[in-house]
Amino acid sequence: MKKSAYLILILLFLIPSVYGQQEDLSQLYEKVKKALVSVSTFKDGSLQHTGTGIFISSTGKILTANHLVNHSDSIRVKGFDGKQYRIVSVEVVSEEGDMALLQTVALPMQLSAVSLSESVFYEGDPAFSICVNEKGEFLVSEGYVSVIRRFEGVGPGILTAMHLDQNFDGAPLLNNFGEVIGMFSYPLIERFDKFFAVSIKLITENQSYKPKDYTITRVTEQKITDKAELKNQKIIEKEGLNFDSIYIIEPKLKALGDSIKDAWNEYARMDALTDFIPLFVKALKVRGSYYYSFNHLDFMYKLVAPDNSFRLFSWTLRFDDGTYRYYGAIQYNSINLKLLPLYDYSHMIPYDIVEDTILSNESWFGAQYYDIGMFKKGKKKFYVLLGWDGNNYISSKKIIELLTFDENGNAVFGAPVFQDTTRTRTRVVLQYNKDAVVALKLIHSKNLIVFDNLVPPVKDDAGKVWTYLPDGSYNYFKFSKGKFIFHEDVFKNEKITQEDLNESDNISGKPGKKNDSKSGILPPK
């Protein structure tokens, strides 16, 4: 089964603050286990289904999947204590949502019940599930809530980022307070081809059901006194509405993005771009959109600053003559949208001064950025961006760009900090033959920028940078006292191994592409 990558990274920066407020999970698991039951159903004397259920009230109600008990002749429920309990009635909450409530005579004293969550839960919240397999063993799966919305033909549902198998049929989905927020139905998991849980809103929205006397209550309320943190929490009001609108838009964005990248001629690609930009801005205007990963837009590179103060989008428009135009934007980490568009000005900058200019977002030297690093001198932060420029049908470029922000928060590209024996540059541009694979890498742990040494294929081509090729050695810049100092032969002068060069690159939060033994980064042509 395919695993969905929807929103797995959403709120990764906020999750540690949530974990710190929860009860120890191992203790929570032990409490939840006492509310679990195994469910076995029989028809015509033969075993029909096995699954899991959970007591959700002191009156003896058990939540489980409807298909497990539907059309069965008898239902056998075994509790944590190993004893079997008689079912006196079955209430179908929703056939479409595959949810049912089993009624026992009463909740046994030696068992517990868990509560249905009355608190708001969000996309990105940690969650877990526990089931009972056929051997009576308890299995636990941990993960995150990824999407919360209403699903056609089912009702309110939850997509999760966790690994499940058929043992979890009928098992509860719980938050880290030990409250039930959903229930897994394996037929629905197969139907959606995602780890889908039916929301307990199917029950709480049913006025005829009124749960009583929960014996496991919220372990602790999350108390936030810091105003800034409280403000951050409020931006994540995503339940059902905010991220739904992006979720609906994203498939169209993906289709347009695929056309921008691969449509058969430049006019079709430009038409797709014209439609894409306003729709993308519309998605970014959704409150809290900073935390939406846009994982399906794989034509676009998405980099998050190491301090999480902003993220940077960049992508290309390829023309039929082999040249490129670049598009990008900086989205600041703020409650409402604060977006700084980047305008590609590279075709207007003379090639002989490109490494000497300081630029703004309105005069950006366009590139598709695939890695970002942060360096400091005192309180000043420098963001190093590594980028690729397809240039033309003869040559390509790799770019080391420096990004800072002035006192007004405006982006400044370039600074005189790249220093070698003859000059100081504001950025570094490596131009090379189109057929070559050139490595340009940040080794974050050592404050190094490592790159291939480029040489002409023959002496007569010296100065013709569009012919240059790697010679197998590596040069590097090393950050020291606010400057990036050029050095030759990284293996000779630094304690660095080939493994350091082969470490993963930060491309949209995923491992980078390794095109050859040097792990050079070359985005698709």
CATH number for the domain harbouring residue 85: 2.40.10.120
Considering the domain architecture, whether residues 331 and 198 belong to the same structural domain is answered as no
At 451, is the pLDDT very low, low, confident or very high (cuts 50, 70, 90)? very high
**Is residue 492 situated within a structural domain?**
yes
Asked whether 402 and 382 are in contact (CB, 8 A), the reply is yes
**Is residue 247 situated within a structural domain?**
no
Considering the domain architecture, whether residues 320 and 435 belong to the same structural domain is answered as yes
Average pLDDT of span 487-503:
79
The structure tokens listed for 72 are 């069965």
For 191-222, the pLDDT digits (tens) are 888 889 999 888 876 644 443 332 322 222 23
* Whole-number pLDDT of residue 317: 93
User: Count H helices, E strands: the chain?
Assistant: 10, 29
CA-CA distance, 159 to 192, in Å (whole number)?
9
Considering the domain architecture, whether residues 193 and 341 belong to the same structural domain is answered as no
Of 204, 221, 247, which residue sits at a domain end?
Answer: 204
* Whole-number pLDDT of residue 401: 98
Q: Whole-model pTM?
A: 0.54
**What residues contact 135, with CB distance under 8 A and at least 6 apart?**
none
Calculate the dihedral angle through the C-alpha atoms of 370, 397, 447, 413, rounding to the nearest 10 degrees: -80
Average pLDDT of span 458-487:
93
For 233-254, the pLDDT digits (tens) are 444 443 333 566 787 888 889 9
Of 204, 223, 245, which residue sits at a domain end?
Answer: 204
For 393-449, the pLDDT digits (tens) are 999 999 999 999 998 889 999 999 999 988 999 999 999 999 999 999 999 888 899
Considering the domain architecture, whether residues 308 and 185 belong to the same structural domain is answered as no
Considering the domain architecture, whether residues 476 and 331 belong to the same structural domain is answered as yes
Q: What average pLDDT does the chain have?
A: 81
Task: Answer yes or no: is pLDDT of 7 > 70.
Answer: no
**Is residue 61 situated within a structural domain?**
yes
Tell me the Cα Rg of the chain: 28
Considering the domain architecture, whether residues 370 and 490 belong to the same structural domain is answered as yes
CA-CA distance, 182 to 197, in Å (whole number)?
6
Calculate the dihedral angle through the C-alpha atoms of 345, 346, 349, 351, rounding to the nearest 10 degrees: 180
**Is residue 238 situated within a structural domain?**
no
Domain count for the chain, please give it. 2
Provide the domain limits for residue 443. 300-501
Beta pairing partners, 307: none
Considering the domain architecture, whether residues 193 and 334 belong to the same structural domain is answered as no
pLDDT above 70 coverage of the chain, percent: 82
**Is residue 85 situated within a structural domain?**
yes
pLDDT higher for 327 or 74? 327
Of the candidates 57, 413, 39, the residue with the CA atom closest to the CA atom of residue 214: 57
**What residues contact 361, with CB distance under 8 A and at least 6 apart?**
330, 340, 341, 342, 343, 410, 411, 413
Average pLDDT of span 266-290:
89
pLDDT higher for 515 or 358? 358
Considering the domain architecture, whether residues 345 and 197 belong to the same structural domain is answered as no
**Is residue 497 situated within a structural domain?**
yes
Asked whether 51 and 68 are in contact (CB, 8 A), the reply is yes
**Is residue 396 situated within a structural domain?**
yes
The structure tokens listed for 303 are 């980099």
CA-CA distance, 501 to 487, in Å (whole number)?
16
Of 153, 184, 204, which residue sits at a domain end?
Answer: 204
**Is residue 402 situated within a structural domain?**
yes
